[in-house]
Structures are given as C-alpha cells and as structure tokens.
Amino acid sequence: MIAVENLNVFFGHGLTRNHAVKDVDFTVKKGESFGLVGESGSGKSTILNCIAGLLTHWTGRIEIGGARLTKTRNMAFCRKVQMVFQDPYGSLHPRHSIDRTLKEPLKIHRLGDANRRVARVLDEVGLGTKFRFRFPHQLSGGQRQRVAVARALILAPEVILLDEPTSALDVSIQAEVLNLLQDLRREKNLTYVLVSHDLAVVSHMCNTLLVMNRGRVVETITRSQLKNGTINEEYTKQLLVAGKGYDRTAIDRFQDF
C-alpha cells in the first residue's frame, strides 16, 4: 500500500542546513499498522508530512497503492490518505461545531448526503449524534480525538497517518482511543502509519516498527521481537528502557547515539 524509497529531507541552507531524514526506506502492506518510533527530533513527523503532502521539498520515491506521488497532490489522493494529529484541541476549529467540522471535508470533495454521513461516522467513533452540535471546548480530550478520527474517516480513506494520536491523552483514555483505532482498521481494512515515542503504544498497535535516530533508520523490528526482547541495536534497547519511565540509574548509563 505504501512504499518509501531513499527518502531524504533537508531543512534550511548553508551552515544551518539540517539533514532531517536520511535515506529512509520502508514498505507497508494493505491493512497493516506500521509504527515509527524514535526520540524527539529523529524525523518521524517529517516522514509522515512527506507522505501526506504537507512537505514538498523531499527527494526519493513515495508510492501509495502502486502510484508514484508527485509533489502536488490531487483531490483523489487527499481522499485516500488522511492524517490525525497529536493535539485534537489544536487541530479542531474552536468556533466550529462538530457538525460543521465534519461537513467541511464533504463540501470540499463535493460529497452529498452530508447529514447521514455525519451521523454514521459519529456512531462509528462511539460518540453518537448527541455530540453533533457541540463545540470542541464542550468535549473531553478523548472525545475531541474521536472527532479528529471521525473527520479523517468521513472521506472513507484507505490510509490514515497518525502522528502521536494519543500522547495528549490520559493513560486510561489512551487505551480506549487505541482500541477504537484498532477496531476501525480491522473493520475497514485501513492501513496505518503510526508515529509514537511510546513503545508500549506502538507494540500494542503495530506488528512491524521502524526505529529512527537522527533521521536514520536504526532497525526494523517486529512486535514479537519487542516482546521477547530479542533486539540487536543498543539504541533500541535504550529506547525500551527509557519507555519504562524515569529511572535514575538506568539514565546515568545511557549512551549518546
């Protein structure tokens, strides 16, 4: 469903030039949930932004469903590939009702039957129509993120790019939203690329994950490797320890990769 080959991204010029993504390759099968992990600044969001078309100054090759992406995306691409961001408060317009937020993409793509589609998608994300005329500030964080998922789903995409979709949420709510995302993927045969710095989240959601450090791929590992701890790279082992919470003695032993 997704093929990324030799992806490179630079930001800035001259002395301040930053090679943010270095020769990254990966493929994702249809219906699969693929994880991108790595410490802050390792290039995870940049990769998603390239796939989504939010960044255009990349080099390499990106294919979705066998079609090579050009720098400008057409309407059909936007329908096929949707993105969910980390902060649902920031990504929802504060003065637009949920109804208006969900109808906006329908209007852009000239899809009819808006009322029925809005009601259906609100049901699918477990909110129901009673939320329809509320505003973002009248929702909890988890409910807002469900609206963000609904907005991505309403165009019936094939691929959803999820950038830290639950890291702004309380741990108990995180699990609910992750389970919802899992159910939706299975029901609709969606393909996910999920970015998270939290290995627990990624191993819950993804069979395969790419470990990133400073723009480079460190290794590709499977969920079972992660569970059994059969990991080769020291960097990944360190990430695993870091994910278990703050531990002074462990952190004192960390190396700089």
Judged by the rule CB under 6 A, the positions of this chain that interact with ligand ATP are: 11, 18, 20, 38, 40-46, 197
Nearest distance in Å: CB 45, Mg ion: 3
Nearest distance in Å: CB 38, ligand ATP: 6
Whole-number Å distance between alpha carbons of 194 and 147? 18
Nearest CA among 29, 33, 51, 22 for reference residue 165: 33
Q: Which partner in Mg ion, ligand ATP, none is near 35 (CB below 5 to 8 A by kind)?
A: none
Which residues are bridge partners to 38 per DSSP? 212
Nearest distance in Å: CB 168, Mg ion: 12
For the chain, how far is it from start to end, CA to CA, in angstroms?
32
**49 binds Mg ion per the rule CB under 5 A:** no
How crowded is residue 205: how many other Cβ atoms within 10 Å of its Cβ? 23
Nearest distance in Å: CB 237, ligand ATP: 19
**213 binds Mg ion per the rule CB under 5 A:** no
Q: Near Mg ion by CB under 5 A, which window of 31-39, 44-52, 88-96, 222-230?
A: 44-52
Nearest distance in Å: CB 196, ligand ATP: 9
Please give the residue whose beta carbon sits closest to Mg ion in the complex. 45
Q: Which partner in Mg ion, ligand ATP, none is near 40 (CB below 5 to 8 A by kind)?
A: ligand ATP
Q: Which is nearer to Mg ion, 32 or 87 (CB)?
A: 87
Whole-number Å distance between alpha carbons of 176 and 52? 26
Q: Which partner in Mg ion, ligand ATP, none is near 197 (CB below 5 to 8 A by kind)?
A: ligand ATP
Strands 208-213 and 191-195: unpaired
- Counting Cβ atoms within 10 Å, is residue 111 exposed (0-12), middle (13-18) or buried (19+)? middle
Nearest distance in Å: CB 70, Mg ion: 25
Beta-carbon contacts of 37 under 8 Å, excluding residues fewer than 6 positions away, are 44, 195, 196, 197, 199, 202, 209, 210, 211, 212, 239
Q: Which is nearer to ligand ATP, 20 or 102 (CB)?
A: 20
Beta-carbon contacts of 133 under 8 Å, excluding residues fewer than 6 positions away, are 97, 98, 99
In whole angstroms, how far apart are CA 69 and each of 50, 58, 66, 84, 203? Answer: 10, 11, 9, 20, 29
Q: Which is nearer to Mg ion, 45 or 143 (CB)?
A: 45
Q: Which is nearer to ligand ATP, 11 or 254 (CB)?
A: 11
Q: Which residues bind Mg ion (CB under 5 A)?
A: 45
